[in-house]
Structure 1
Amino acid sequence: MTWGYVMNWRKARIGLAVFTATASITLGACSSGEGASQASPTAPSQASLPGSTTAVADPADTAKQLAIAAYLGMWSDMAEAATTSDWQSSKLARNATAEALSKMSRGLYADRYNGLVTKGKPENSPQVESVEPADNPTTVNIVDCGDDSHWLKYRIDNGQPAEDGPGGRRHINAMVKKAVDGSWKVTDFAIQDVGTC
């Protein structure tokens, strides 16, 4: 695949260096952290408090966990579709919408057109950069240091590796939004060059 203009990971990544979804996102430092362990697709469990049965879950914490789950789900769906460069896979819309979905579909279409498939999986270490608004979140901005070293393109005709540049760690910005039905989906993402995190 190509995380950038997706499926052309290495060729389209430069054009995606600017995160088009919002001008307010700043590049954060990449590091693995608690974000990666919060990838549960369900709301966090409510903690017990002294003198009461359960406490109401913090809306910001719930939003963070659901946004990270959607972000990781998007890359998982992408990796699955990329094994056949299925640019029309209905699974792509499970965790992505708007520009994010368009980028993935276009990237997969380009790979199919060029006779390429992608094998392996990306490795992600997402962390929440911001939650807006804090009291009733509808937008979560995520930073990630994604690694595509083991997510590589191959030619369909002969099974040989495609010559599309080296894999490695890349800085990724993503925006995840709450839909009217309460679900969380990635609406846009931008990927930088190898070595940016």
Structure 2
Amino acid sequence: MRGRQLRRSVICLLTVVAAIPIAACGSGKEAVERPTQTRGDGPRVDQETDRRAAEKAALDAYSGYLTASRTASRRSDPHAPELSRFLADPLLTRVRLSIRDAKEHGAMRTGTLKSEPTVTSVSLDSNPATVEIQDCLDATGYRLVYAKDQKVVPGSGGGKHLATATATRYPDGRWLINSSAAHQDQPC
């Protein structure tokens, strides 16, 4: 029994002695120049930076989506190249069909659409990464009009309502809006 205790003590002592040179490697200058950082600081800071970058990229994509769809609608151009810079399917196809339908009926969108988007959630761990956006869209000055005489299409009046969208990060690194819904029954 005494031999076992002695062996454990020797093993512990050797472990401690063996660890000291590893921990003591490097000159004092190197140790001073290294930033002091606890284990939890690095990943948390990186995650917060990644989160903020994702929020910004998603909001930029959302703003681009609204601008591109307004421009394409004003020109009645369902194949406007700027749409694919900010949108992905299934939303891209839905927007193109909407613009094409309006064009076939001799209508187009005019006016201004006011937007106040906010990020409601960020999921960087999902595959693909997503950012959920909520917006209060003010479409009171944004109208569907007949292209010939600029008269408002009956029943196309807009108001202020809630809208939601999802931005997804694609394999090429771009954030694109791939789903969006207008909740016209929910004023904001």
TM-score w.r.t. length of structure 2? 0.70
Q: 1:134 to 1:153 in 2, by over 3 A?
A: same
Amino acid at match of 2:121: S
Q: CA deviation at 1:134?
A: 5.8
The structure 1 segments of at least 4 consecutive aligned residues displaced by more than 3 Å after TM superposition are 134-137
- What are the ranges of 5 or more consecutive residues in structure 2 without an aligned counterpart? 1-34, 37-44
Q: 1:117 to 1:77 in 2, by over 3 A?
A: same
8 A contact 2:88–2:176 mirrored in 1: yes
- RMSD, aligned CA: 2.4
SS of residue paired to 1:98: coil
Task: Determine the structure 2 residue equivalent to 1:58.
Answer: 49
Q: Counterparts in 2 of 1:30-179, with a 5 A limit?
A: 58-133=49-124, 138-179=129-170
Q: CA deviation at 1:172?
A: 0.7
SS of residue paired to 2:183: strand
Q: Which has the higher helix share?
A: 2
Measured in 2, the distance between the counterparts of 1:75 and 1:106 equals: 16
Q: Any idea what the Cα deviations from partners look like across 1:8-62, whole Å, max 9, x if unmatched?
A: xxxxxxxxxxxxxxxxxxxxxxxxxxxxxxxxxxxxxxxxxx99xxx86710010
Q: 1:137 to 1:64 in 2, by over 3 A?
A: farther
Q: 1:127 to 1:67 in 2, by over 3 A?
A: same
SS of residue paired to 1:102: helix
- What are the ranges of 5 or more consecutive residues in structure 1 without an aligned counterpart? 1-49
TM-score w.r.t. length of structure 1? 0.67
Q: 1:140 to 1:195 in 2, by over 3 A?
A: closer
Measured in 1, the distance between the counterparts of 2:50 and 2:78 equals: 35
Q: 1:135 to 1:116 in 2, by over 3 A?
A: closer
Q: CA deviation at 1:165?
A: 3.6
Task: Determine the structure 1 residue equivalent to 2:39.
Answer: none
Structure of greater relative contact order (alpha carbons < 8 Å, 6+ residues apart): 1
Measured in 2, the distance between the counterparts of 1:72 and 1:60 equals: 18
Q: How many residues align?
A: 146
Q: CA deviation at 1:196?
A: 2.4
Identity %: 23
